[in-house]
Amino acid sequence: MLAGNWKMNKTPSEAQLFANTLVNALAGFNSFDIYIAPVFVALDRVREVVSSSNIKLAAQNMYYEDSGAFTGEVSPKMLKELGVQAVIIGHSERRRIFGETDELINKKIKKALAEGLTPIFCIGETLEERQKGLTFCVLEKQVREGLYGLNTDDVKKVVIAYEPVWAIGTGVVATPEQAQEAHEFVRALLAKIYDEEVAQSVTILYGGSVTPENFFGLFVKPDIDGALVGGASLKESFVELAKIMASVLG
Ligand code: PEP
């Protein structure tokens, strides 16, 4: 999977225009899933552009209730009506800036699954945690609490995005070895909590300063199944990333 997280960028008309560029440039890439996640207010216009293409629509967040007194929130039912098929949950910016906890993230993941949306569940350690040797500890807590209560069938539908916080938007990418080590750890953890079949079937993306210059080395690693891309998804470089994936997949 190649997923572009546009974050709080592009107005609805800019998003529509860029989606149109992507539809043309990415036609024919069918060996992996391509998602773009525009801001909520651009989803409807982007849907019109991508609806008969190979590009799927993701949202950047959601709340776990259907409707009600939750000012400023958006429900999965609303997203589904706009053609959304996946939703990013627990992005480090949501955790850090908006105070999202593992418990809240768990509720959102469960609700997304109940509504048939694919959760793109983000995990990752801060620089301080890495420097203190806590990376695996942090990842284990986030995975265990984020996936708490999910059965084997459900967990297979979750996409996990390993996004070291120190690599997001910083230009400092994890080395392929660092990323592979974390992905391998997460997969082994899934095998421990569930079983080997689950561990092998869960898609694990890498995210954090992915560019066409560094992506090949990451994507060829055995446990890296694709990327969640921020900055480089806002430009033509997203197409370059798709080309790299296609060349590796053959
Ligand atoms: C992200 O926002 O998920 C991300 C990985 O951002 P960037 O690629 O800009 O580091």
φ/ψ (deg, to 5) at 37: -120, 90
Which ligand 1 atom is nearest residue 161's CA? 3
Query: The pTM is what?
Result: 0.97
d(CA 8, CA 29): 26
What's the CA-to-centroid distance between 124 and ligand 1, angstroms?
12
Residue nearest ligand 1's atom 3 by CA: 230
d(CA 222, CA 230): 22
pLDDT of 72-120, one tens digit each? 999 999 999 999 999 999 999 999 999 999 999 999 999 999 999 999 9
What share of the chain has pLDDT > 70, as a percent? 100
Active site residue 197: no
What's the CA-to-centroid distance between 68 and ligand 1, angstroms?
32
Check if 163 has its Cβ closer than 6 Å to any atom of ligand 1.
yes
Q: Which residues in 22-131 belong to E strands, given as ranges? A: 34-37, 55-59, 84-89, 118-123
Range 200-217 burial, b when 16+ CB lie within 10 A, else e = eebbbbbbbbbebebbee
pLDDT of 180-234, one tens digit each? 999 999 999 999 999 999 999 999 999 999 999 999 999 999 999 999 999 999 9
Identify the bridge partners of residue 229 per DSSP, sorted by sequence position: 4
